[in-house]
Structure 1
Amino acid sequence: METNNRSNAWIPWAFVLLWSTGFIGAKLGLPFIGPFTFLAIRMGLTLLCFGALIACFRPAWPGLAAAKHQWACGAMLHGLYLGASFAGIKLAVPAGITALIVGLQPILTAVLSWLMGEQRLSRMQWLGLAIGFGGALLVVLGGKGLQLGANPGLWLTVLALCAITAGTLYQKRFGQGVNPLTGAFHQYLAAFLITGVLALGLERGDAIHWNAQLALALGWSVLALSVLAILLLMRMLKDGEVSKVASYFYLTPGLAAVQAWWLFDEQLSLLAVVGMLLAALGVALVLQRLRWRR
Structure 2
Amino acid sequence: MSVDAPASPKRTVPASVVSSVFVLIWASGFVTARFVAPHAEAFTFVAIRLVGVAIVLSAITFGFGARWPRNRAGWRDALVAGVLMQGIYVIGVFWSVERGLPSGIAALVGSLQPLLTAALARPFLGEVVSPPRWAGIATGFAGALLVLAPKIGAADASGIPALPLVACLGAMVAMTIGTLWQKSHAGQAELLPNAAIQFVGAGLLAVPAALLFGTGRFDASLPLWGGLAWSIFVNSVAGILLLLALIRRGEVAGVASLLFLVPPVSAAMAYLLFGETLAPIQMAGMAVATIGVAVASRR
**TM exceeding 0.5:** yes
Q: Structure 1 length normalisation: TM-score?
A: 0.80
Equivalent pair of 1:27/1:89 in contact (CA under 8 Å):
no
Q: Could you give the per-residue CA deviations for residues 28-59 of structure 1, whole angstroms, max 9, x where no partner exists?
A: 11222222211110111112212211221222
What SS does the aligned partner of 1:163 have?
helix
- Verify: 1:122 aligned to 2:130, yes or no: yes
Q: Which runs of 5+ in 2 are unaligned?
A: 1-7
Change (3 A) 1:77 1:119: same
Q: Structure 2 length normalisation: TM-score?
A: 0.79
Equivalent pair of 1:254/1:276 in contact (CA under 8 Å):
yes
For 1:2 and 1:104, locate their aligned partners in 2 and report how far apart those are by CA, in whole Å: 40
For 1:16 and 1:26, locate their aligned partners in 2 and report how far apart those are by CA, in whole Å: 16
User: Which residue identity lines up with residue 24 of structure 1 in the other structure?
Assistant: V
Q: Over aligned residues, Cα RMSD in angstroms? A: 3.3
User: Which residue identity lines up with residue 160 of structure 1 in the other structure?
Assistant: A
Equivalent pair of 1:88/1:156 in contact (CA under 8 Å):
yes
Q: Could you give the per-residue CA deviations for residues 152-191 of structure 1, whole angstroms, max 9, x where no partner exists?
A: 4555443332221111011111223432222112110111
- Partner of residue 45 from structure 2, selected from 33, 38, 48: 38
What SS does the aligned partner of 1:119 have?
coil
- 1:187 corresponds in structure 2 to 198
For 1:206 and 1:223, locate their aligned partners in 2 and report how far apart those are by CA, in whole Å: 22
Decide which structure has the larger Cα Rg and report it. 2
Question: Percent identity of the aligned residues?
Answer: 31
Q: Which runs of 5+ in 1 are unaligned?
A: 290-294
74-83 vs 24-33, which deviates more? Answer: 24-33
Report deviation, 1:124.
Answer: 2.6
Q: Could you give the per-residue CA deviations for residues 229-277 of structure 1, whole angstroms, max 9, x where no partner exists?
A: 344557778xx86579947654333211111222233445444444454
- 2:261 corresponds in structure 1 to 251
What SS does the aligned partner of 1:21 have?
helix
17-26 vs 82-91, which deviates more? Answer: 82-91
Change (3 A) 1:32 1:175: same
- 1:292 corresponds in structure 2 to none
What SS does the aligned partner of 1:120 have?
coil
Equivalent pair of 1:110/1:286 in contact (CA under 8 Å):
no
